[in-house]
A and B are shown apart, each in its own frame.
Chain A
Amino acid sequence: MKALASLYNQQFKTTLAMMFQYRASLVIWMIGQVLEPLVYLIVWTIVSSSSGGSIGSYTTADFATYFIVLMLVNQFTYTWIMYEFEYRIREGLLSLALLKPVHPIHSDIADNLSSKMITLPIMILIAVGLALFFHASISLALWSVLLFIPALLLAFFLRFLLEWTLALAAFWTTRVSAINQTYFVLMLFLSGQIAPLAILPSPVQVVAGILPFRWLIGFPVELLLGRLTRVEALTGLGIQVAWLLGGFIILRIVWRAGMRIYSAVGA
């Protein structure tokens, strides 16, 4: 445990140094992270105000709030591991990571969390600015805020496990980008990024509830917005935990299988 703590600490320093080196890429990443929810925010507020001020149970202001909270949840949970892993395997860099006495996922988690510590405050500022501009309003209930925190953390770990496992596909194929793109499309629709799941056709909602996607983004957002009953919220947390355990088992199986066929390129 102590060794891990010092690893996370060291990774934090390294990541920090690297992020100052690549300030520009950071800004570019953030533009993308802001722009996508912003575009859907604008589209849906226009649709909503042109059809009488609300769609389903979402008023125009609710849409603004929804997408701004979604932007923050997405920022907090997103990973870039799927791009990174392919490069790592292609260039043989994974061999170096394997020489270290800890599982490589730890340094990735530490790297991810460190870079978020820097970007999150900026994103919160942007979110406040957008909330003022689009007249977003939110009334928070204490219990939903309290449940939101574990939901967000579970969403982060679940998404991390899922995308880290998916990134391992690079062991078997060089066409990772097609897999990634399919994943992003599913994610876009089923996690609530394109629209709140409640206003999507009901078959889509059913599928979204069964697959992990809703639990990565949509669920924490709905929870904070007070759109769930307590029972729904607790059930949701349960489903997140179940997926997390399932994801952990799948990761172990896939990682072992991958290790057996991995032969370093370029070494």
Chain B
Amino acid sequence: MKYLRLFTAFFWVSVMNELAYRVNFFWQLFQSLLSLFVSLAGLGIIFSYTDTLGGWLPDEVLALVGVYLLVGGIIGLVIQPGMEQLIESVRDGTLDFTLTKPEDTQLIVTIKRADIWRLIDIGLGLAVLITALVRLGEKVGVGQAGAFVLMLIAGGVIIYSFFLILATLSFWFVRVENILVIFQSMYEAGRWPISLYPGWLRYGLTFIIPVAFATTVPAEALTGRLTWETLLGAVVLAVVLVIVSRVFWRVGLRHYTGASA
């Protein structure tokens, strides 16, 4: 409960900060719409030549685009800003201040910053997702919806832990700002069903950089493609990564010596 209060407090600080620049809303909206337009126009061209893409119907790929935007929005809203700030504060030593706070440092680092304009992506993603679901009609049952939410949470946790592990590297290698960009360029590949890709790329996008769990797996759950093995695997991986990233974080934190003090 206390954590929720902390989160709300930090979130409001972000909101207040950003509301000073209200015009940004329209710019972000413009950029999100552009990005959506790219996805839809690309799909339109491709499906003018074919009826299914690797076994996925147009509306199912549309649902995937919705998930892609939604998860991308979540990552941009809460995961990435916090981790970027963490890397920066390790470099310039301002992590000292966070360490003196009476709460768990990992928690504070995580919720400290939010890029509230990414809520637009979340909204657009949901809108696309709902459109796709309506067009798919009856095919989505309660079980599939439940599996979808579970996979979305598992995917979010996996991505978070992955980002935390990358950001924790900054305790050893100070200049790692760019490391988070790897994820961004790989995330582009999540626009399409991972099953399209040849084996090596599919494994890379599943186990090295877990893009598959963020987009394809939740979309699979929604379109009734999810196998029990994948579902179980995603949950187990999420749990394992949470523990691993936590342990790694604590080891890293012990390496922290401060920069200027």
Contacts and interface: CB of A to CB of B under 8 A. Distances in A.
- Among A47, A194, A201, which residue has the most Cβ atoms of chain B within 10 A? A47
B179 A24 contact: yes
A43 interface: yes
B37 A50 contact: no
Interface in B168-211: 176, 178-179, 181-182, 185-186, 188-189, 191-192, 196-198, 201
A50 B52 contact: yes
B45 A175 contact: no
A161 to B, nearest CB: 24
Given A25-B178, A31-B182, A195-B45, A43 B53 contact: yes
Interface in A22-47: 22, 24-25, 28, 31-32, 35-36, 38-39, 42-44, 46-47
A259 interface: no
Contacts of A35: 185-186, 188-189
Interface in B1-54: 27, 30-31, 34-35, 37-38, 41-42, 45-46, 49-50, 52-54
Contact of A50 (B35, B50, B198): B50
A28 B50 contact: no
A199 interface: yes
A149 B192 CA distance: 35
Given A39-B189, A46-B53, A133-B198, A181 B45 contact: no
B197 A42 contact: yes
Given A178-B30, A200-B45, A47 B53 contact: yes
Q: Is the interface of B mostly helix, strand, loop or mixed?
A: helix
A202 interface: no
Contacts of B41: 189
Contacts of A235: none
B173 to A, nearest CB: 9
Contacts of B54: 46
- The A interface, classified by DSSP as helix, strand, loop or mixed, is helix
B68 to A, nearest CB: 13
Contacts of A182: 34
B4 to A, nearest CB: 33
Contacts of A201: 45
Contacts of B50: 47, 50-51
B34 A185 contact: yes
Given A31-B186, A47-B49, A188-B38, A175 B27 contact: yes
Contacts of A199: 45, 49
A194 B31 contact: no
A181 B31 CA distance: 7
Max chain A Cβ within 10 angstroms of own Cβ: one of B41, B49, B54, B181: B49
Given A42-B196, A43-B53, A36 B188 contact: yes
Contacts of B191: 39
A25 B180 CA distance: 10
A46 B201 CA distance: 15
Interface in B51-76: 52-54
B188 A178 contact: no
20 contacts: A22-B178, A28-B179, A28-B181, A32-B181, A35-B185, A35-B188, A39-B188, A39-B189, A42-B197, A42-B198, A43-B46, A43-B196, A44-B46, A50-B50, A51-B49, A133-B198, A181-B31, A181-B34, A189-B38, A199-B49
